Amino acid sequence: MKALAARTRALALDSGTSLEAAALQTDARTSRVQAVIMSILAEYGPQTDDEIVDRYNARAGAHPAVPTVTPQSIRTRRRELVVAGKVREADAFGFSKLGNRASVWCLA
């Protein structure tokens, strides 16, 4: 069901790459990425999106069961966890890799 919804969001005038990417987003894959994000926040505490992405990529490189995904996909899965009430914005700010203020995320 989520895969179908993702396909409908793909740009209508796209060359096909958005549709291909949307087709890869199965419920099992999405759930696995979310589980890894939750695990990172449980293990390391509050993190910025950049920190979550770095820790996620380290796990993906070390564990074949962790799907390789883009930073945008990790941020999207984190946002879904916020909407589901499993993750929330912490009461502090961090900094992005570019030195800008960034939201910090923690388990709800």
Confidence tier at 1 by pLDDT (50, 70, 90)? very low
Which pLDDT value is given to residue 13?
55
Task: In whole angstroms, give the CA distance from residue 96 to residue 8.
Answer: 32
Class of 2-107 in CATH: mainly alpha
**Cβ-count burial of 78 within 10 angstroms (0-12 exposed, 13-18 middle, 19+ buried)?**
buried
pTM (global) more than 0.85: no
Give residue-wise pLDDT tens across range 35-50.
Answer: 999 999 999 999 999 9
Inter-residue contact 60 to 66 (CB < 8 Å): yes
What pLDDT, on the 0 to 100 scale, is given for residue 4?
A: 46
Which letter does DSSP use for residue 14 in this model? S
Q: For the chain, what percent of residues have pLDDT higher than 90?
A: 73
Between 4 and 67, name the one with better pLDDT. Answer: 67
